[in-house]
Amino acid sequence: MVNRKVLTLDEFTIQQLRMFPQATGELSSLLRDIGLASKRINVEVNKAGLVDILGDHGSVNIQGEEVKKLDIFANNQMMGVLRHGISCAGIGSEELDDIVIFDDEVSNQSKYVVLFDPLDGSGNIDVNVSIGTIFSVYRRVSELGKPCTREDFLQPGIQQVAAGYVIYGSSTMLVYATRRGVNGFTLDPSIGEFCLSHPDIRCPEFGKIYSVNHGNFFQYSEGVKKYINVCQQKTTETGGPYTQRYIGSMVSDVHRNLIKGGIFMYPGTTGKPKGKLRLLYECNPFAFILEVAGGKATDGTRRILDIKPEELHERTPFFVGSKGMMEELEGFLAK
């Protein structure tokens, strides 16, 4: 049996590049840089508990969250590869108060800026539940040759040229989307390469999984509560029965729902009307990925990708997943 040649991430991005001779290869190079940072983060995640990488860093970030040591480690790995690459003019990160403009001769010529959540699901680090990294890539709107500007980072999500995530779980996977499709790569530790394992991922139009934090139930709007009740009462005749799955790492919850079909909700609450999730480096990347895969993503009323961001760390209510399930939800939110 001839073993099918499995493309590595590098081979795949170069293959994509060859299909578009006018491309400069900067985006391919950027994705390979992110893959490198992910492999370094993966090493620390996999041995967390054996080395002094668990627990609190002892600081509180701009989000008001206890920063974990692994948050800082992941942040520094992502920022390091992007600063020393040839494709990124600057970055924005969940763990940094403001954007970082690299402002050196090579970076100022670079076409892209990157926003990232270096470690998503930090609360799960110390209890060995899967966590991830999320990234979002924009072409600069500012003048090449000069330092990038804040406007480069505050573009609507529809302007993303690529978005993706890494999930440090039972295996380590990197999934990224461009307008041409969503592809998943699984890290093969024996060769230290991400290998194409999930080509052209499509999100099923319907699923049987709904993901929400029931602990906030009585703080949700009437429409959200009604939809959750509908989810709980689904039968085989009405597309169910549904199962509730909520890990507390958005990367894991949304990845599962992308593959199997399902809906993930982080609604606003009476206490936090904007919810918890950040628009620029959590909601926009997943909204882009799900839309390319055939799903939908809204804030309850607006398409996420149409929102014009005002602030780097702004939050938004977030509903994302299978198209058919999102449309059923919208019927309850419109009332």
For residue 129, the minimal CB distance to ligand AHG (Å) is 11
User: Is residue 120 at the binding interface for ligand AHG, with CB under 6 A as the rule?
Assistant: yes
Work out which of 35, 90, 92, 121 binds ligand AHG, going by CB under 6 A.
121
309 Cβ neighbours under 8 A, 6+ residues apart: 153, 154, 155, 156, 279, 280
Q: What is the amino acid identity at position 139?
A: R
| Nearest partner of 243 among 223, 258, 263, 226, judged by Cα | 263
Q: What gap in Å lies between CA 307 and CA 320, rounded to an integer? A: 15
Strand locations in 83-169, DSSP E? 88-93, 100-101, 112-120, 131-139, 160-168
Residue nearest to ligand AHG (CB): 250
Stretch in the footprint of ligand AHG (CB under 6 A) among 9-17, 26-34, 42-50, 121-129: 121-129
Residue 26 site contact among ligand AHG, Mn ion, none (CB < 5 to 8 Å, cut-off depends on kind): none
Scan for tokens 């709980």, then name that residue: 232
Residue 144 structure tokens: 């090449």
Nearer to ligand AHG (CB atom), residue 30 or residue 125: 125
The residue (of 129 and 195) whose beta carbon lies closer to ligand AHG is 129
Q: Binding of ligand AHG at residue 122 (CB under 6 A)?
A: yes
Q: Is the dihedral of CA 244, 165, 120, 110 positive or negative?
A: negative
The listed partner (Mn ion, ligand AHG, none) that binds 248, CB under 5 to 8 Å by sort, is ligand AHG
For 21, residues 6+ apart whose C-beta sits below 8 A from its C-beta are none
Nearest approach, Cβ of residue 94 and ligand AHG (Å) = 6
Q: Which of residues 209-268 bind ligand AHG (CB under 6 A)?
A: 213, 248-250
Site size for ligand AHG, by CB under 6 A?
A: 12
| Residue ranges that bind ligand AHG, judged by CB under 6 A | 65, 94, 117, 120-123, 213, 248-250, 276
Binding residues: 94, 117, 119-120, 213, 246, 276, 282
